């Protein structure tokens, strides 16, 4: 028979079992952290009517979308979890309780140029809090406590949640009468770490920004110090723009409330340069960086938006939320050695029968399972060496060898696969030891 070459499409993550175990552990920890805060699970379809999914999209996003016909239907694969959430809340509005807190962990699809660490199919892990008509600003402070809890749960200690407020940026540009140039200015500012302040000023000049406005911008982005010092300096800038002062007021509230929410000050930083997308977020914005691995970029980002579902409903639905791009994070963090898959296993015990009395071996395997210990029984008819090799290759930490002698004495031989140590014990002793 002619064979088809088995292969996986470029840009699609497919892991070996031990990597998958590591991946799932992280996914489960994120899920449990989100649930710890009472977020409700959603699982919307991956395929939606293209008209619904693209109600809002445009530009770059639309080009990346997987869109196709099936029969007479114009379909598309979701490219994020926010649009499906907007659709969901508009559709089931009457059956939901507000503030509506939901999480969703699922795959999304973007036909991007395939490159290392960029996936066309990838997991997003989102939480959002949606208000009906209004949403108290304290929820903007609740979000960092979710980020904090989640990354602590994932085993990280040194990470910083960067916080800004879009109104502050907009207010600055409003003040200098350049709000139409917002995109260009932000693009230039964004390069400051790479090209330096001097070059940024030059590029702003080329953009046609007046000298005194460049000074305002440069003074603004250079603001440094502790969070309260930054806020103090912002107040002293004497900017009149109402948008600016609204934003500053919100930022101050959020920073104060974050302390109330139990996030240590060292994990939070006012960062006046972050903006997150240009037309979506309207207030607080978040990015999260691992202190020693800043080059990974933001590992958890989001913000506040004024109106989630305006393309579907007249109801005003403000919200605030964050997303972890899990597939990319897993790829990068594994590469940096922050996630290790080498020693991962599902089974804790491999039962190795060295007797024809399989009944007894099966019975013992069942006892382990009843004690909630993941247990495999090696049933293939191989040499003992192959059986231990199997345990070794799968990183199974314990082998339980059962021979006729053991059965006669109501015991088993427990082998620690890491140390090679062996002891003969009762099943109950083995269970106690392993747990």
Is 381 one of the binding residues for a second copy (CB under 8 A)?
yes
By CB under 8 A, residue 206 contacts a second copy: no
HEC string for 316-385: CCCEEEEEEEHHHHHHHHHHCCCCCCCCCCCCCEEEEEECCCHHHHHHHHHHHHHCCCCEEECCCCCCHH
Rounded-to-integer distance, Cα 384 and Cα 292, Å: 46
**Residue 131 touching a second copy (CB under 8 A):** yes
Min dist. Cβ of residue 233 to a second copy (A): 27
The residue written with tokens 């114009």 in the block is 74
| Shorter beta-carbon distance to a second copy: residue 10 or 177 | 10
Binding span for a second copy by CB under 8 A among 167-175, 246-254, 283-291, 343-351: 343-351
Joined tokens for residue 310: 């305006």
Query: 64 is written with which tokens?
Result: 């990346």
Site for a second copy in 85-104 (CB under 8 A): 86-88, 90-92, 95-99, 101-102
Q: Which stretch binds a second copy (CB under 8 A): 6-14, 182-190, 211-219, 294-302?
A: 6-14
Considering only residues 210, 278, 358, 384, which one is a binding residue for a second copy as defined by CB under 8 A?
Answer: 358
When the beta carbons of 274 and 391 are compared against a second copy, the nearer one is: 391
Q: Which of residues 25-44 bind a second copy (CB under 8 A)?
A: 35-44
- 346 forms part of the interface with a second copy (CB under 8 A): yes
- Listed residue (297, 279, 299, 276) closest to 124, CA to CA: 299
What Rg, from alpha-carbon coordinates, does the chain have? 27
Q: Which positions from 311 through 340 interact with a second copy, judged by CB under 8 A?
A: 311-314
Q: Of 215 and 372, which CB lies nearer to a second copy in the complex structure?
A: 372
- In sign, the C-alpha dihedral spanning 278, 283, 289, 294 is positive
Site for a second copy in 235-274 (CB under 8 A): 257, 260-262
Nearest Cα to 128, choosing from 37, 243, 21?
Answer: 37
Does 179 contact a second copy by CB under 8 A? no
- Member of 126, 269, 376, 406 binding a second copy (CB under 8 A): 376
Contact 312, 91 (CB under 8 A): yes
Chain residues 67-86 in contact with a second copy, contact rule CB under 8 A = 68-71, 73, 75, 86
**Residue 105 burial by Cβ neighbours in a 10 Å radius (0-12, 13-18, 19+):** buried
Among 179, 186, 223, 394, binds a second copy (CB under 8 A): 394
Does 293 help bind a second copy (rule: CB under 8 A)? no
According to the binding rule CB under 8 A, does residue 278 interact with a second copy? no
């Amino acid at each position: 028979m002619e064979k088809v070459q088995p292969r996986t499409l470029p840009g699609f993550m497919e892991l070996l079992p031990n990597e998958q175990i590591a991946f799932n552990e992280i996914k489960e920890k994120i899920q449990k952290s989100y649930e710890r805060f009472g977020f409700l699970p959603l699982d919307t379809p991956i395929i939606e009517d293209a008209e619904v999914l693209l109600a809002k999209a445009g530009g770059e996003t639309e080009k990346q979308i997987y869109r196709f016909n099936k029969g007479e239907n114009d379909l598309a694969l979701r490219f994020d979890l926010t649009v499906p959430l907007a659709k969901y809340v508009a559709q089931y509005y009457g059956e939901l309780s507000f503030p509506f807190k939901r999480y969703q962990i699922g795959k999304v699809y973007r036909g991007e140029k395939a490159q290392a660490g960029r996936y066309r199919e990838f997991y997003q892990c989102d939480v959002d809090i949606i208000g009906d008509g209004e949403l108290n600003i304290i929820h903007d402070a609740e979000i960092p406590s979710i980020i904090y809890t989640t990354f602590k749960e994932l085993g990280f200690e040194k990470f910083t949640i960067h916080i800004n407020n879009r109104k502050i940026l907009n207010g600055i540009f409003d003040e200098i009468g350049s709000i139409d140039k917002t995109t260009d200015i932000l693009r230039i500012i964004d390069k400051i770490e790479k090209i330096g302040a001097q070059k940024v000023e030059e590029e702003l000049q080329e953009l046609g920004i007046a000298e005194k406005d460049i000074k305002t911008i440069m003074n603004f982005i250079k603001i440094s110090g502790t969070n309260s010092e930054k806020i103090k300096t912002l107040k002293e800038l004497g900017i009149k723009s109402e948008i600016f002062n609204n934003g500053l007021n919100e930022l101050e509230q959020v920073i104060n409330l974050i302390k109330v929410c139990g996030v240590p000050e060292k994990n939070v930083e006012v960062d006046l340069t972050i903006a997150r997308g240009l037309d979506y977020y309207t207030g607080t914005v978040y990015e999260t960086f691992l202190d020693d691995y800043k080059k990974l970029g933001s590992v958890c980002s989001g913000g506040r938006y004024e109106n989630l579902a305006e393309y579907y409903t007249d109801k005003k639905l403000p919200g605030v939320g964050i997303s972890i791009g899990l597939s990319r994070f897993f790829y990068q963090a594994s590469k940096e050695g922050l996630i290790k898959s080498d020693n991962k296993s599902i089974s804790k015990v491999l039962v190795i029968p060295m007797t024809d009395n399989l009944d007894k071996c099966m019975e013992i395997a069942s006892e382990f399972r009843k004690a909630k210990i993941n247990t495999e029984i090696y049933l293939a008819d191989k040499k003992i060496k192959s059986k231990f090799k199997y345990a070794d290759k799968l990183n199974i930490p314990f082998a339980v060898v059962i021979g006729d002698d053991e059965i006669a004495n109501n015991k088993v031989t427990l082998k620690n696969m890491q140390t090679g140590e062996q002891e003969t014990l009762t099943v109950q002793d083995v269970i106690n030891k392993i747990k």
